[in-house]
Chains A and B, each alone.
Chain A
């Protein structure tokens, strides 16, 4: 169990409002971690802090790469992504003018290995890199079962497939940690089931650590090894699915029961 991401005393205030306050969390390599909580609990804000969309008001986010710790809180999103954190979005954000394949190819620019000059002059390097990108992108699409739809416009896909395409696109950035923001939202039970298998498969194949926000409790309880619960911006519980199910604070947060 070696930690890959350590969050300490992380807080974010918007004006006077504390959207996330004083969160401590350690995520280990290869883990499947769930982040749950009622609407407005600060889950997405927390994701946005980890992926650089927001700058933390306080606290540290440390990523361990090749045995070295690096503070990533407050870095620009693109830098964080290139260090190996990839994400999907709650309100799908695919590139609307691009095809399915182009969406994935776009995410692979990190390892493209050619610059503007090669692109403009069409050197052999350009053609080799483009061939590699194309092959690799097709591979990712096969993983999520969208290879046959690769020439379609991304936004013409049905909802569930758009979510899977977002996963393929995140995968294409070559991450070590994958953040999924409500990956099962809008999916039917069968699709959710397939998604569960897909996440397991991707984790094993690409040695990923997966962190997901989800409201579908059956998905979270079957998939996640460890669960963190947020409410009003604070972490109120963490543990295995069994522990969380029986945690009185969690029950109170969700059902509003009196203790």
Chain B
């Protein structure tokens, strides 16, 4: 039982990272209906940025986190402006292939400059852990939970209480309608990318610290898993991304702990397929039907 609870905690910390990445997917998909395949790579850039600013500039945790979020946010907006903006009216498959192209460019450009070797981080966080009952929570896990909760609260506030949040919801519901109401659709989409990418940047740094490693292709599989998490929760839904991320994290950890680590990725895809078959709109998604 204690081992089970311990696995739940481990799963939740992994899941928090997925949730942060899933938010970016869900926001971008919600607003321009694009599976941003490059999103996982932005998370990778976040991990590398953290590596650089901590190793070479000696930054401490909070400033490094902010730098990661800013760098990734700007990168996300840049990608959107250069690659996705010209394709806003294009068929989805075109946009999807562009996203794949962007993903390749980011991954292999990093590989070109960084090599395939795995980078390790300097020691930033104390090796403390807390024993709560039978469960041990490490310092980094605590940091992950705190950062995730803070960012979630902040995001919910932005989306529901600010002008830009209203604009995002409006564009997501009806782009043309929003345009007629005087909302700058281009800027709103860019800000969506900014926020989504900044969250991925934060996730990248956290995962880098958690596993103490960063490599150019590290974003691919977690990217897909985060997307699965977004679909699970209902694409376009913020609480959905959180719940989906946590669920995927826990499920994966359980499979590794009690099944076989060889099937850790398979379980995620199986969850995805079951969700799509049983409830394609996801946990919190709305079902839409074409009008005849």
**Same complex origin of A and B:** yes
A→B interface (CB under 8 Å)? 44, 48, 53, 89
Nearest Cβ on chain B to A130's Cβ, whole angstroms = 31
CB-CB < 8 A to B292: which residues of A? 44, 48, 53, 89
Nearest Cβ on chain B to A76's Cβ, whole angstroms = 14
A89 to B291, CA, bound (A): 11
Nearest Cβ on chain B to A14's Cβ, whole angstroms = 9
A53 to B292, CA, bound (A): 8
Residues 256-292 of chain B, each 1 if its beta carbon lies under 8 Å from chain A, else 0 = 0000000000000000000000000000000000001
**4 A-B interface contacts by CB (under 8 A):** A44-B292, A48-B292, A53-B292, A89-B292
Nearest Cβ on chain A to B287's Cβ, whole angstroms = 11
Closest to B290 in A: A53
A48 to B217, CA, bound (A): 50
Nearest Cβ on chain A to B117's Cβ, whole angstroms = 50
4 residue pairs, one from A and one from B, having the closest CB atoms: A53-B292, A48-B292, A89-B292, A44-B292
Nearest Cβ on chain A to B281's Cβ, whole angstroms = 15
Nearest Cβ on chain A to B225's Cβ, whole angstroms = 34
CB-CB < 8 A to A89: which residues of B? 292
A44 to B292, CA, bound (A): 8
A89 to B292, CA, bound (A): 8
A48 to B292, CA, bound (A): 8
CB-CB < 8 A to A44: which residues of B? 292
Nearest Cβ on chain A to B127's Cβ, whole angstroms = 56
Nearest Cβ on chain B to A196's Cβ, whole angstroms = 26
Nearest Cβ on chain A to B258's Cβ, whole angstroms = 42
Closest to A53 in B: B292
A200 to B292, CA, bound (A): 27
A158 to B292, CA, bound (A): 22
Nearest Cβ on chain B to A54's Cβ, whole angstroms = 8
Nearest Cβ on chain A to B227's Cβ, whole angstroms = 30
CB-CB < 8 A to A48: which residues of B? 292
Nearest Cβ on chain B to A55's Cβ, whole angstroms = 12
Residues 232-258 of chain B, each 1 if its beta carbon lies under 8 Å from chain A, else 0 = 000000000000000000000000000
Nearest Cβ on chain A to B4's Cβ, whole angstroms = 42
Nearest Cβ on chain B to A199's Cβ, whole angstroms = 22
